[in-house]
Amino acid sequence: MQFEPRSAAPHFDVITIGAGFAGLHMLHTARSMGLSVRVYEAADDVGGVWYWNRYPGARCDVESLQYSYSFDNDLEQEWVWTERYAAQPEILRYIEHVAHRFDLRRDICFRSRVKQASYSESRQRWEVETESGDRATCRYLVMATGALSMPRLPDIPGMESFEGRIYHTGAWPHESVDFTGSRVGVIGTGSSGIQAIPQIARQAERLVVFQRTANYSVPAKNAPLEPEAERAFKAKYREYRALAREVGTVYEFSDKSAREVSDADRLREYERRWQRGGVNIVHAYNDLMRDKASNDTIAEFVRSKIREIVKDPETADSLTPKDHPLGTKRVCVDIGYYETFNRDNVALVDLKKTPITHVGPTGVQVGESWHELDALVCATGYDALTGALLAIDVRGRGGLQLRRKWADGPRTYLGLMTAGFPNLFVITGPGSPSVLVNVIVGIEHHVEWIAECIGWLRRHGHTTIEATRDAEDRWVQHVNAAAERTLYPMANSWFLGANIPGKPRVFMPYVAKIGVYRRECQEIADAGYVGFDIRPAQPGDSR
C-alpha cells in the first residue's frame, strides 16, 4: 500500500533517520551544501548507540583521539579527552558538544521513530511517516540507523515470567542502577558483557555469568590521557587522520607473517603488545586474519594468559575460547575481566556444558542447578547491520518491501544503495567495511560519498540514482569472495547473522582495507557512477 501524503506534509531535500555519529555528520554536511534537511530520531536527544548504551563499564574500544570526527580541525583541537579509552558519558558529552557547536538540534525531530518510508514513483520522492503520524517528503533518504542499534533479548523459555529487574545493555535506563546487595545474573560475554561484568561484580552481593561462547579479550591498559601525549598526537592530527582514511584505525602494523619469525620473537612481540593494551595485538603480524596456523599462535598466547590469570582451572578452561580463531568475532578489550573470576562473589556458568533450561520468576534453571537472582542483565547483542533498517517498513519501486527483498540476506551495491530503492542511501550498512574498522572513519567516508553524489546529481540536472541489479549482484559476489579469503567465516558471529535464530547466514561486512574500498567507491563515482541507473529531472521539477 502506498503512503498518501497529506498536502501539508513538508518537503526536504534530505531526510536522515538517526541522530548518532552518522546522522549528525550527514545533517551538517548536507546543510553546508545548502540543502534542506530533516532528521528523525527515536531518542529524546542526540548520541545514537552512545545515548542508549549506559551500562556500567560502557567504553569505546578504539582510542579516544581516533574515535572522533575529523571533518573540522578546530573541533578536533579544542576537544580534550581525559582517558586513553573514553567511557560512554564522555563520548556522549562530545556528541552533545558537536550538536551544540554546529547548531544541529534545530533540524532534528526527537522522540520520532520512523515507521514507514515509501518511494513514490510518480513524484520521485520518498514519503516518510513516524509512529506518531508526523509525515514529510524528501528527494534523498539517508538511513543513519546504526549497525548495532537493535537490541536483542534472548529467546529463553520463561523470560517473561522473571519478576526481578531485567536490563539490556543496549537500552540501559537513564537513572542510575544500583546492584548493591543484589544477586545479579549476566547473560552474554561479548564486548558489552565483558565490560559490564567487572563493574557489576564490585557492586553486587553475588554475580553469576552465563556464558555461551568464550571470547578472546585483551587488556585495555586504560589510563588518564597525559596532556603532553595528547598535545603530541594533536600536533600530527592531519597525518594520523590521513592514515586512518587508509587503514581505519591506526595501529602498529607489521609487514611480517607470524610464520617467518622464531617462536621466542613472536612471544616477545605478543607480550609487548599485551602489556601496551588494546586491539593493537591483532596487528602484530600481517597474516593473523588470513592464515589459521598464524592465528593459532596468537590465539594460544591469549589462552595462556587466561590460564595464568584465572586461578580456578575449571573456570579458566571454560573461559578459554576454543571454537573460533581470534578476531573472527570482534576481539574484546577489557579492564580486569578475567581477574573478576577470581572473586569469591562471582561464578561462571558454562552454557556449552549445560544450556539454560528456563527462566523462572526468581531465577534461572541450568540443568540441575537453580540460580536465585534479583536482577538479570542481558548483554546479548543486536540484530546487527540489518535490524534497525528492516524495523522500518521501507518500500521502493512498485511497493517492493526491503524486508522482502532482503529475506535471504542483505544485497547492496557498495554497501551504499540497493536496487529497486532510488535515492535511498545507507550509512555503514551491509556490504561496507564500516563495522570492521573505526566506525567513525567509515561514517565519514559514506557521508562524503553521498554528499558528493547528491551534488553531482544536482549539477547534472538528474533526479534519481539507483543501483542496477547487475552491479549489485557483482558487488555481493565480491563481498562474499573477500570474506572467503579470510578466517572470518569460521566463527558463528553477528557478522554472519548467526546470533539471530532464523536470520539468513550471509557474511555482511566487506572485508577490505577502508582505503581500498574508498578507491573502489571513488573510481565508480569518477567514471560517472558506473553500475547506477541515473534518471533526469521531469519537466517542472525543481528539486
d(CA 210, CA 25): 38
- Alpha-carbon separation of residue 253 from 256, 288, 325, 330 (angstroms): 9, 12, 20, 18
- The nearer residue to ligand NA7, 214 or 298, going by C-beta atoms, is 214
- Asked if residue 495 binds ligand NA7 (CB under 6 A), the reply is no
C-alpha cell of 475? 558487488
User: Could you tell me where the DSSP H helices lie in 379-468?
Assistant: 387-391, 402-405, 439-459
Shortest approach of ligand NA7 to residue 356 CB, angstroms? Answer: 6
Element (H, E) at 308: helix 292-309
C-alpha cell of 84? 586513553
Q: List the one residue out of 299, 285, 284, 303 whose CA is nearest residue 329.
A: 299
Q: 347-376 b/e with 16+ CB inside 10 Å = b?
A: bbbbbeeeebbebbeebbebeeeebebbbb
Q: Which of 193, 321, 422, 431 binds ligand NA7 (CB under 6 A)?
A: 193
Shortest approach of ligand NA7 to residue 115 CB, angstroms? Answer: 26
- The nearer residue to ligand NA7, 136 or 364, going by C-beta atoms, is 364
Interface characters, 279-318, with ligand NA7 (x: CB under 6 A):
----------------------------------------
Shortest approach of ligand NA7 to residue 218 CB, angstroms? Answer: 14
Shortest approach of ligand NA7 to residue 49 CB, angstroms? Answer: 8
- The nearer residue to ligand NA7, 104 or 379, going by C-beta atoms, is 379
Which residues between 20 and 49 bind ligand NA7 (CB under 6 A)? none
Which residues between 351 and 410 bind ligand NA7 (CB under 6 A)? 351, 379-382
User: Could you tell me where the DSSP H helices lie in 33-107?
Assistant: 49-52, 73-78, 88-101
Shortest approach of ligand NA7 to residue 160 CB, angstroms? Answer: 14
- Asked if residue 430 binds ligand NA7 (CB under 6 A), the reply is no
- Asked if residue 330 binds ligand NA7 (CB under 6 A), the reply is yes
- The nearer residue to ligand NA7, 236 or 352, going by C-beta atoms, is 352
Q: Which of 150, 499, 511, 514 binds ligand NA7 (CB under 6 A)?
A: 499
| Residues whose CB falls within 8 Å of the CB of residue 163, separated by 6 or more in sequence, listed in order | 361, 362
User: Could you tell me where the DSSP H helices lie in 380-534?
Assistant: 387-391, 402-405, 439-459, 469-484, 514-526
Q: Which of 37, 58, 184, 187 binds ligand NA7 (CB under 6 A)?
A: 187
C-alpha cell of 401? 518491501
Position of minimal CB gap to ligand NA7: 190
| Residues whose CB falls within 8 Å of the CB of residue 381, separated by 6 or more in sequence, listed in order | 148, 151, 152, 170, 188, 190, 192, 494, 499
d(CA 54, CA 64): 17
Count other C-beta atoms under 10 Å from residue 301's C-beta: 20
Q: Which of 48, 190, 430, 431 binds ligand NA7 (CB under 6 A)?
A: 190
- The nearer residue to ligand NA7, 46 or 197, going by C-beta atoms, is 197
Q: Which of 70, 192, 297, 438 binds ligand NA7 (CB under 6 A)?
A: 192
Residues facing 185 on adjacent strands: 208, 376
Interface characters, 435-474, with ligand NA7 (x: CB under 6 A):
----------------------------------------
Q: 511-528 b/e with 16+ CB inside 10 Å = b?
A: bbebbebbeebeebbeee
* Contact of 487 with 328, CB cutoff 8 Å: yes
Contacts with ligand NA7: how many residues (CB under 6 A)?
22
* Contact of 71 with 238, CB cutoff 8 Å: no
Q: Which of 188, 219, 363, 422 binds ligand NA7 (CB under 6 A)?
A: 188
Which residues between 206 and 225 bind ligand NA7 (CB under 6 A)? 210, 212-213
Q: Which of 119, 406, 494, 529 binds ligand NA7 (CB under 6 A)?
A: 494
- Asked if residue 428 binds ligand NA7 (CB under 6 A), the reply is no
C-alpha cell of 38? 530533516
Shortest approach of ligand NA7 to residue 457 CB, angstroms? Answer: 33
* Contact of 92 with 24, CB cutoff 8 Å: no
Shortest approach of ligand NA7 to residue 60 CB, angstroms? Answer: 9
Applying CB under 6 A, the span of 173-181, 205-213, 397-405, 513-521 interacting with ligand NA7 comes to: 205-213
Which residues between 142 and 181 bind ligand NA7 (CB under 6 A)? 148, 154, 156, 169
In the complex, which residues of this chain contact ligand NA7 (CB under 6 A)?
A: 148, 154, 156, 169, 187-193, 210, 212-213, 330, 351, 379-382, 494, 499
